């Protein structure tokens, strides 16, 4: 089923968010993305018809500005994919209170505020398309925690809990699910030692690439009977 109503992807200028934007655009979806920094990928997406909105979710005012922009332009939405993320360790951090505040702001407050603000738009989109979706991008560390990224892990756990709460609130018109990736892809700067160590953390010992996340998004959007659940993309890491 092809949606007529637009789908928002936060953090859509790079990596998994960018891959999802390209894939959904190729399928004929009307795509809206948010981005923080100007990149060549943003220009390319705009040339292909993607609506690109610069937004900073690390502050309450940034979230409010984005909400106001969407409410002024759209009366219905087909879905929201909360992919925008921050990642920082406690080691070397001069202000851990600020670190926790920032992690919570991006991963919990922003999706919470956006979901509530767009409730009527999502319900309107569901009426026109037959269903609407919210997808939260969480993380494998929600299950085990992280001694090096404590604030990050805690905030992603908060986002995972929002999945259950919003699934209850928005049912039956809007499905709310999460995707919890472990390692999907490396950064170009990652050295061989780091790569080998990371690969050995999972049973399948591979970095499958962003398309693994794209397929998970496509599955959820196509499903008509899944809500309040998490798709885990971890290569069996929980069994190691």
Q: Could you tell me the two tokens for 236?
A: 């069996």
Residue of 29, 35, 74, 152 marked catalytic: 152
**Is 80 exceeded by the pLDDT of residue 1?**
no
**Prior bond of 123 cis (ω within 30°):** no
What is the C-alpha separation between 177 and 32, in angstroms, rounded? 19
Q: Give the model's pLDDT for residue 190.
A: 86
Mean pLDDT of 208-226: 97
β-pairing, 79-82 vs 7-9, is parallel
Q: CA 65, CA 34: separation in Å to the nearest integer?
A: 12
Integer Cα distance of 53 and 38 in angstroms: 11
* Average pLDDT of the residues in 33-62: 97
For the segment 168-173, the average pLDDT, to the nearest whole number, is 98
Arithmetic mean of pLDDT, 197-204: 92
Q: Which of 19-23, 31-35, 199-203 has the lowest mean pLDDT?
A: 199-203
Cβ neighbours for 52, distance < 8 A, ≥ 6 positions apart: 12, 13, 32, 33, 34, 35, 42, 45, 46
**pLDDT mean over 198-215:** 94
> CB neighbours (10 Å) of residue 109?
18
| Mean pLDDT (whole number) for 79-87 | 97
Q: In what order do the strands lie in the sheet with 79-82?
A: 51-54, 31-35, 7-9, 79-82, 132-137, 174-181, 230-233
How high is the mean pLDDT of the chain?
96
Asked whether the predicted pLDDT for residue 112 surpasses 80, the reply is yes
Q: What are the structural domain ranges in the chain?
A: 7-239
User: Residue 104 pLDDT more than 70?
Assistant: yes
152 catalytic, yes or no? yes
Cα 80 to Cα 76: distance, rounded to the nearest angstrom: 11
CB 65 within 8 A of CB 113: no
- Give me the CATH topology for the region 7-239: Rossmann fold (3.40.50)
pLDDT attached to residue 138: 98
* pLDDT class of 188 with cuts at 50, 70, 90: confident
Look up the pTM and report it: 0.96
Is 90 exceeded by the pLDDT of residue 227?
yes
Residue with structure tokens 């604030």? Answer: 151
Is the pLDDT confidence value at 2 over 80? Answer: no
What is the per-residue pLDDT across 113-157, written as a single tens digit (0 to 9) for each? 999 999 999 999 999 999 999 999 999 999 999 999 999 999 999
How many residues comprise the chain? 240
């Amino acid at each position: 089923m092809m949606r007529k109503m637009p789908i928002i992807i936060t953090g859509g200028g790079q990596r998994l968010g960018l891959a999802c934007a390209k894939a959904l655009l190729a399928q004929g979806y009307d795509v809206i993305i948010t981005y923080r920094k100007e990149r060549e990928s943003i220009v390319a997406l705009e040339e292909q018809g993607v609506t690109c909105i610069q937004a900073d979710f690390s502050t309450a005012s940034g979230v409010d500005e984005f909400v106001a922009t969407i409410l002024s332009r759209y009366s219905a939405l087909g879905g929201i994919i909360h992919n925008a993320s921050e990642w920082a360790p406690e080691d070397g951090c001069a202000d851990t209170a600020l670190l926790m505040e920032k992690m919570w702001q991006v991963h919990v407050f922003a999706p919470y505020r956006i979901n509530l603000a767009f409730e009527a738009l999502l319900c309107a989109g569901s009426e026109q398309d037959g269903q609407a979706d919210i997808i939260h991008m969480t993380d494998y560390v929600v299950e085990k925690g992280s001694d090096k990224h404590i604030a990050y892990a805690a905030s992603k756990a908060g986002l995972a809990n929002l999945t259950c709460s919003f699934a209850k609130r928005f049912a039956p018109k809007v499905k709310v699910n999460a995707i919890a990736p472990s390692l999907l892809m490396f950064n170009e700067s990652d050295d061989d030692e780091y790569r080998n160590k990371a690969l050995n953390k999972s049973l399948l010992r591979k970095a499958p690439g962003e398309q693994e996340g794209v397929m998970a998004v496509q599955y959820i959007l196509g499903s008509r009977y899944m809500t309040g659940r998490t798709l885990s993309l971890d290569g069996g890491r929980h069994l190691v």
